[in-house]
Amino acid sequence: MGNIKAEEAMRELTLMLLYLSRFTQREKFHEATDFYAWKGYDFDILNELDDADYIRQGNHPSRSKSVYITESGMEQAKELLSKYGISDWKQG
């Protein structure tokens, strides 16, 4: 793996952290289809991830404390985990 720019690394790492720290409103994690994550990351990066349709921040992004992780965001995060050799500890 070659060098990547800091901005790209921040986007990739933020998406991976959102994915790995995801939670659901359902009791059984493996049966859930909707996932959320607390947003405590750089707002510019979150806005970029929202623009790329990897997450959704809702109608009032400055008021919401969590983000919704889209299906494309889940898939991109899984690809990034594979790229960096990180296992998804919440599978199954």
Q: What is the tens place of the pLDDT at every residue in 5-36?
A: 999 999 999 999 999 998 887 776 667 778 88
- Please calculate the CA angle 64-45-26 and round it to the nearest 5 degrees: 45
Q: What is the mean pLDDT of residues 51-75?
A: 89
Domain chopping of the chain, boundaries: 6-23+31-84
The CA distance from 44 to 41, in Å, is: 9
Structure confidence at residue 92 (pLDDT): 44
- Distance (Å, whole) CA 17 – CA 81: 10
Percent of the chain scoring above 90 in pLDDT? 58
Instruction: Compute the average pLDDT of residues 37-64.
Output: 88
Has residue 82 got a pLDDT over 90? yes
Average pLDDT over residues 43-68: 88
Cβ neighbors of 22 (< 8 A, separation 6 or more) are: 35, 36, 37, 69, 90
